[in-house]
Amino acid sequence: MALLLALDQGTTSTRAIIFDEHGAIRGLAARALTQHFPAPGWVEHDADEIHEAAVAVMREACASCAVAAGDLTAIGITNQRETVVLWERASGRVIGRAIVWQDRRTAERCAVLRAAGHEDAVQQATGLVLDPYFSATKLEWLIDHHGVRGPAERGELLAGTIDAFLLWRLSGGRSHRTDATNASRTLLYDLTCQRWDPRLLALFRIPACLLPEVCDSGALHGETMVLGGAVPIAALVGDQQSAAIGQGCLQPGMAKATFGTGCFLMVHGGSTVPRSRNRLLSTVATREDGVPSYALEGSIFNAGSVIEWLCGLHLLSDPAASGTLAAQADPEHGVIMVPAFTGLGAPHWDPQARGAILGLSRASSAADIVQAALTALACQVCDLFSAMRADGVDVRSLRVDGGMAGNDQLLQLLSDLSGIPVERPTMVESTALGAALLAGSTMGVFPSLADTTRLWRLQRRFTPGLPAATRARRLAEWSRAVATVRGFAATEVGATPRLG
């Protein structure tokens, strides 16, 4: 029996899951990841903590099912994407904390580049918009803030997204690689030419010698000895692309939404780069044998983080209780939440937007606020659907996964407000499963990556039941609320604060 270990390094946790060739879970371990918020709009992780947790959970997952290194066919790594790490080539010492994808400190730098007229050229090359969400300005900031531009230009430092950092550490410094899905999220990678773009490296002042080699997602990237014997690392893939693989969304037009810390809607676009006129993102879906396939994506910055925030306010005792409490809300109370805690992502891309709860009265209850939070998540996905329809992409059904995919109330709201069926699979660990399937395909466990789609199974299908007029009214109310919070911040969220 083939056993495949997926290392799923996410925004709030690091997990290892062992799957068999039928897609069943055999072992699992997880550790929470410390979140650092040193200033408003700043989000950081300790890369050493990430590495230590990765080794620990892989060992614990193996121990949980009595699996040794020799029993594993391969490891697949999937990761939070745009988060970037800088470290010393010789010693491996990390320079500063990793800057997380949610971080907004470089908003001002992005605004300067937009004002200088660079956004069209950047978007044409990368498929992305000029936003602090992506890696390039984060890496530029790390180099300048820590005063290491000289060592960086001399080749004494290395940099990369979390996949590249983990591969380098787990391989004992022998492999400095990333895959095309992660590279396509950096603002430095040309989607068509499939290479780091020299013009963008110059624009963002990133020395090419810092960056990893870009490879296929499924490949023999190296091997690790941390489990007591050599195990091949046979997949690197960004978490959203990995979830699409785990959901079997490998054909043009197939769509998935992953509800994790944020929410990410991805529609497979085939072999041609999809170009959006409505500020959605073009990205690499997978790359096999040097040939990329592409996807159209919309990114929502806050999803599961909204529920965590409600728990922190003691409006919820447990995230799992959100659906039950929301079902007690009175729809006539008219409470609307816009959870723009770190600005608004696609299709608005407004780093100055701020969160708000509107329509409160003395009659409003905790249930109304929780229901408003779930409705906001559904409405944000509907905004992405609207942008996709304007781009000529018509999504007929949506597969969902992630931590909130078990919330029936949310999924019914999503189906009602979008007007399309929402499908939940039996295996909601789609992100980890995708990395395992990709590694298995590399190692010959599956004849091809396309063959893995047979493992997908439907658990429940949610169908729309809301009258069209009611749907239109609620979406119009949501749009008015979004307009209220746009550009709300008095100063850029990325402005450097005075610390100490």
Residues 208-246 pLDDT 10s = 999 999 999 999 999 999 999 999 999 999 999 999 999
- Order the strands of the 84-88 sheet from edge to edge: 44-45, 98-99, 84-88, 157-161
Q: What CATH class has 3-240?
A: alpha beta
- Nearest to 52, CA basis, from 31, 27, 69, 25: 31
pLDDT at position 490 is 52
Task: Name the residue with higher pLDDT: 36 or 493.
Answer: 36
Q: Which amino acid is at 286?
A: T
SS3 385: helix
pLDDT at position 494 is 45
Q: Which of 27-31, 91-95, 303-307, 458-462 has the lowest mean pLDDT?
A: 303-307
Mean pLDDT of 90-110: 95
Q: What does pLDDT average to over the chain? A: 92
Mean pLDDT of 152-156: 96
**pLDDT category, 404, cuts 50, 70, 90?**
confident
pTM comes to 0.89
pLDDT at position 469 is 92
Query: Residues in the chain, how many?
Result: 500
Q: What angle do CA 280, 283, 288 make, to 5 degrees?
A: 155
Mean pLDDT of 458-477: 93
**Spatial separation of the C-alpha atoms in residues 360 and 137, rounded to whole Å:** 39
Per DSSP, 97 falls in state P
Residue 466 · residue 420 · CB < 8 Å: no
**Spatial separation of the C-alpha atoms in residues 449 and 337, rounded to whole Å:** 40
Residue 491 predicted with pLDDT over 80: no
